[in-house]
Amino acid sequence: MVEVSPEILQHYRDADENGRIRSGLGQLEFVRTQAIVRRHLPPGELRIADIGGATGVHAEWLAEDGHDVRIFDVVPEHVQAAEQLAKMSSHISAQLGDARQLPVADDTFDAALLLGPLYHLPVRDDRVLALREASRAVRSGGLVFVAVISRFASLFDSLEQGFLFGREGQKMVEQDLTTGQHRNADNTPGWFTTSYFHRPDELGQECRDAGLDVLAVVGVEGMASWQSHLADRWADADDRELIVKSAELIEFEESLLGLSPHLIAVAQVR
């Protein structure tokens, strides 16, 4: 049985993962992820694995779109919340499962979301293993959507939130930038837990090393997430459209991919 670091489990026990992308500027990640996934899914009712699907934030709208979604997550509290959601939709099911060892037969799904687990697998071999597992669980020709956090995210976040101006913040950002290995050694409230932050080119390479074909690498939020004043504008429909557009305009611009907090690779199973 593969193991998950206790601090990662604790982080998600304490965090409001269900509300994170449903409120404020977090909704930019939500609507952009929806758009990226929807534009690539083939027509019809699909069987979709949501690996690291948490409480079902993405499973919910995918089920409303007519797909059958099975959530896998390592955090028991997430799975319990997802099971509550599943009681309200016959298109959703949820179970405990680690991305590196999925409890499913080969070719079970038409597509998989892997939006989160790679953040929390600091060892490269584990990330490639998780990608291979997603690939194994999806039929030939099916799609795997893979999210990572940008190597530069904590630099931009620390500037925006102000912790770059403290010694601990500087040390953390320096380590993140040089190694990609993010740690919250002192359990500072509000800081992210044990993670790996990708350079944009590493994402495609890891997918290819797992035997996947990469169709696209997309910047999810662009610059807007780093500008908290935009949260006030999100409530206005016209402004919201422009904020989303600001991300779309540079989503494939290679020189700016690392500006987005998140990147998504759209990959295809051979």
Ligand X SMILES: C[S@@+](CC[C@H](N)C(=O)[O-])C[C@H]1O[C@@H](n2cnc3c(N)ncnc32)[C@H](O)[C@@H]1O
In whole angstroms, how close is the CB of 165 to ligand X at the nearest point?
26
In whole angstroms, how close is the CB of 54 to ligand X at the nearest point?
3
Distance CA 44, CA 234 (A): 32
In whole angstroms, how close is the CB of 227 to ligand X at the nearest point?
21
Contact 16/24 with Cβ under 8 angstroms? Answer: no
In whole angstroms, how close is the CB of 4 to ligand X at the nearest point?
6
Q: Which residue has the tokens 């320096």?
A: 174
Binding site for ligand X (CB under 6 A): 4, 12, 17, 21, 51-54, 57-58, 72-75, 78, 98-99, 115-117, 120
Residue 42 or 103 having the CB closest to ligand X: 103
Residue 5 or 170 having the CB closest to ligand X: 5
Distance CA 147, CA 145 (A): 7
- Token pair, residue 265, equals 């690779």
Residue 50 or 68 having the CB closest to ligand X: 50
**Nearest residue to ligand X, scored by beta-carbon proximity:** 116
In whole angstroms, how close is the CB of 12 to ligand X at the nearest point?
5
Give the helix ranges, DSSP H, for the chain: 6-14, 17-20, 26-40, 57-64, 76-87, 124-137, 153-161, 167-179, 200-209, 230-233, 237-248
Question: Can you say whether the dihedral through the CA atoms of 80, 49, 41, 116 is positive or negative?
Answer: positive
Residue 48 or 255 having the CB closest to ligand X: 48
Residue 50 or 165 having the CB closest to ligand X: 50
